[in-house]
Structure 1
Amino acid sequence: MKGLEEIYLKGFSLDKYFGIASADELEKLEELYKNIVISDEFVNRIKGINKKVPVLASVETWCPYARVFLTTMRKINEINHIFDLSLITYGRGVSELAGYLKIHEDDFVVPTAVFLGEDFSKLRVFNGFPERYHNDSTLDTIDGTRNYLKGKFANDILEDVLSIF
């Protein structure tokens, strides 16, 4: 089994992610980018962070949940580059990351992101969507899921990923 640092170092960038996306996927990413608005409260919070955190994320361009997650991360980094993203495919996530995180192959989803300490220890795992959604029924309705995938619940992602600071 490979350590998180080794997997992280073999990942690819957000720019490469955009480079492998289809025209339709890029259009959806652009629409999300326009829809996600970060409140002044979160902007100030993000600006006040003075450290960088490596993030290893298993993603796919076809996955709408991954697109919402990555677009939110992109917006955060445009305010203050606090996350160093290293991306891997779903296949590498299942074969290399799932075992390390003790996630059964059948339960592994994209995006699965690991927020890492300076020594590449696991600080937090983002598994599909914000943690609170694992315990409530927010995404159990068609409207809830549609709104999430349109970027309308980005504040919940922000709250979740910024909790490591």
Structure 2
Amino acid sequence: MDIKKLFDSGISFNEFIKSEDNKNPEIFKNRFETVTIDESIKNIKNSSRVSSVLAFAESWCPDCQVSVPIMAKICDILEIDFHILKRKGHEEEMMALCKEKEARIPTFVFLNHDFNVLDIWIERPKAIKELVAKGDNSFRSGYVNGAYDKEIIDELLEKISRS
């Protein structure tokens, strides 16, 4: 699989927002504008090998509506190239990259300068995955309204700083 070619076929966050099949552009714009990420994260750029992030996402997906704007803002602050591909039509590539049995979204693939995969983040933060595993769905309203943004930001920054 040519990951660089796959990455290059993706679109920017702004193009994703404006795409004609995105029925919720305001959700993505508002999340990007209102999520709070401390500018001091810039200092992790020097120690990280991440130069690009490839996202697999769909605009209709609540998990994507929550996490894609956060990843876009982190990439904007850290000057990391960020491209998005739809899941539909890329399921096989996603499963091969993630070594998963199903293509879950959003998926963020952290890449170095040579487009080697450094790390991957899939779907939701650990705290939410733990609640779901217990059958607890009480998180849903708070999750889509930003209650777990800190957990998402921390996990994504950890992936970037460790890579």
Q: 2:113 aligns with which of 113, 118, 132?
A: 118
Residues 52 and 112 of structure 2 are in contact (CA less than 8 Å); yes or no, is this contact kept in structure 1?
yes
Amino acid at match of 2:97: Y
Aligned pair in 2 of structure 1 residues 21, 150: CA closer, same or farther (>3 Å)? farther
- What residue number does 2:69 align with? 71
CA distance, structure 2, for counterparts of residue 89 and residue 24 of structure 1: 14
Say if 2:139 is the partner of 1:144: yes
Say if 2:159 is the partner of 1:161: no
Residues 42 and 78 of structure 2 are in contact (CA less than 8 Å); yes or no, is this contact kept in structure 1?
yes
Shift of residue 72, structure 1, vs aligned partner: 0.7
- What residue number does 2:39 align with? 43
CA distance, structure 1, for counterparts of residue 84 and residue 22 of structure 2: 20
Q: Give the alignment of 1:53-64 within 5 angstroms.
A: 53-64=51-62
- What residue number does 2:89 align with? 92
- What residue number does 2:8 align with? 9
User: How many percent identity over aligned positions?
Assistant: 23
Shift of residue 93, structure 1, vs aligned partner: 2.9
Aligned pair in 2 of structure 1 residues 125, 8: CA closer, same or farther (>3 Å)? same
Residues 94 and 103 of structure 2 are in contact (CA less than 8 Å); yes or no, is this contact kept in structure 1?
no
CA distance, structure 1, for counterparts of residue 30 and residue 11 of structure 2: 23
TM-score between the two structures when normalised by the length of structure 1: 0.79
Amino acid at match of 2:146: G
User: What is the number of equivalent residue pairs in this alignment?
Assistant: 156
Aligned pair in 2 of structure 1 residues 34, 150: CA closer, same or farther (>3 Å)? farther
Structure 1 outlier segments of 4+, above 4 Å: 21-24
Say if 2:30 is the partner of 1:19: no
Aligned pair in 2 of structure 1 residues 69, 23: CA closer, same or farther (>3 Å)? closer
**Unaligned residue ranges in structure 1 (runs of 5+):** none
CA distance, structure 1, for counterparts of residue 111 and residue 88 of structure 2: 21
CA distance, structure 1, for counterparts of residue 76 and residue 144 of structure 2: 21
| Secondary structure, aligned partner of 2:24 | helix
Shift of residue 114, structure 1, vs aligned partner: 0.6
Deviation digits for residues 42-99 of structure 1 (CA, Å, limit 9, x no counterpart): 431x121236521111111111111211111233244332x31111111133032222
Shift of residue 138, structure 1, vs aligned partner: 6.6
